Amino acid sequence: MMQRDECFRVLARHVGDAIVVSTYSSAFEWLDLGERALNYFSVGAMGLDSSHALGLALGRPDRRIICLQGDGSLLMNLGSLVTIAAAAPKNLVHFVVQNGTYEANGSHPLPSTGLDFAAMARSAGYAQVHDFSDLGNFTQQAAHVLNQTGPVFATLRVERSRDLTYDYPKIYDPARRKALKEALRD
């Protein structure tokens, strides 16, 4: 089983000028890796990070869009899988970090631990689907996954992470949104 922060460190080596969309636990661990203007943290939008990523992918087809979504978050908006597949943005890579908990809401367990998000994405019609539970395998495949024609879906099966400090004013700082807008104008 992998750790989310380890997976994110692998991803960080390959994102380049992609826009990274995330909320809650994934957003906080992604931000721990360093500040980047091309981070989009969805404000108070549990479950909507994949929908925000879709909007950005359609609006900016010239940019790679990477969504880092928790499994609890995806469960709150499962319909986004079908919507993303139907829109078929070639520049969208959708990662779901599966740890079996609603981490942002007190780490309550999901109602089912046997969920197969990759199978859901495949049946929804995603162009490429992956499922990773081994860090070595993910490290070898990460660049390939990020460069595939989308929509691409990948499950990252991870252990529950360390307790996180949810400093919402920091992550949702309006200056961060302003920096993203400016970066997209360049």
pLDDT digits (tens, 9 = 90+) for 18-40: 999 998 888 888 998 999 999 99
For residue range 127-149, list pLDDT tens digits in order: 999 999 999 999 999 999 999 99
Are 125 and 87 in contact by the 8 Å Cβ rule? The answer is: no
For residue range 57-104, list pLDDT tens digits in order: 999 999 999 999 988 889 889 999 999 999 999 999 999 998 766 566
User: Going by C-beta distance under 8 Å and a sequence separation of 6 or more, which residues neighbour residue 169?
Assistant: none
How many residues can be counted in the chain? Answer: 186
Give the amino acid at 9.
R
- Predicted TM-score (pTM) of this structure: 0.93
Kindly report the CA angle at 82 between 137 and 26, in degrees rounded to 5?
Answer: 50
The superfamily in CATH containing domain 4-185 is Thiamin diphosphate (ThDP)-binding fold, Pyr/PP domains (3.40.50.970)
- In which residue are the tokens 């661990």 written? 29
Q: Where are the domains of the chain?
A: 4-185
